[in-house]
Structure 1
């Protein structure tokens, strides 16, 4: 019997965070009510991904940063 893949809706919320006196734009990713990760926009081509306060790395685009969080989430679920 083959399992059928389910579509999962990922919701994004934009917010701002103060880190060491600097304000950064943060994109939070949610599946349902559970926050699965955050992306800090350090610059136009520097997006830092975090999952459960663990740094996942830097991406050149927001889309790549989102993809890295979703991949990590899939590995842990």
Structure 2
């Protein structure tokens, strides 16, 4: 039986300018590989991206991060 191992996810905060507007972006990394990013459009509007593919909107940063990690788990 395969044993589950803990994986450390690192989070980095940055800013991105899109169409003249600057947004807060949270980037998620496992090791040196970027697995996704969350774009904060407003206080309760977060958009998740993984490999430039939109995963959908979330009402909190935690939910957006969780959706990226779940999607990453499905593909690894």
TM-score, scaled to structure 2: 0.99
The answer for the alignment partner of 1:19 in structure 2 is 18
The alignment's C-alpha RMSD in Å is 0.3
Please give the per-residue CA displacement for 1:36-76, whole angstroms capped at 9, x wherever unaligned.
00000000000000000000000000000000000000011
Alignment of 1:25-64 (within 5 A): 25-64=24-63
Provide the C-alpha distance between the structure 1 equivalents of 2:21 and 2:14, rounded to a whole number of angstroms: 14
How far residue 19 of structure 1 moved from its aligned partner, in angstroms, is 0.1
Secondary structure at the aligned position of 1:73 is classed as helix
Structure 2: segments with no counterpart, 5+ residues: none
**Count of aligned positions:** 76
How far residue 27 of structure 1 moved from its aligned partner, in angstroms, is 0.2
Secondary structure at the aligned position of 1:5 is classed as coil
**Structure 1 residue runs of 4 or more that deviate by more than 4 Å after TM superposition:** none
